[in-house]
Amino acid sequence: MTSFVRIAGVLLVFSYLIAPAVCRINLADRIGNRLLIGWIIALIGGVAGLFLSFWWDLPSGAAIVCTFGAILIIISIYSLWRPRAKL
């Protein structure tokens, strides 16, 4: 982990760790679903960030971090508005 922080940067590594975890907690209740959603969000955030970096000629790390931030904001707003299941 510490070698990845040195290579990629603190913000990029921790955005890969935190953003998918928070998104999956907001979207799913079961552990299997949370794991699958976290993987999908990490994949979408990384690929979309690299695509935006290439398309707009931006630094790739910053584009990925901003993409994860946008996904996190969108999913947080969605989780506030969706109906909750009664326990």
Task: Give pTM, 2 decimals.
Answer: 0.82
pLDDT score, position 86 = 47
Backbone dihedral region for residue 83 (phi beyond 0: left; psi -120 to 50: alpha; all else: beta): beta
Query: When comparing pLDDT for 5 and 16, which is higher?
Result: 16
The residues, ordered by sequence, that sit 6+ positions from 77 with a Cβ below 8 Å of its Cβ are none
Closest to 53 in 3D by CA, of 69, 70, 66: 66
Mean pLDDT, residues 27-38:
89
pLDDT at 2: 64
**pLDDT for position 1:** 60
How large is the average pLDDT for residues 35-50? 94
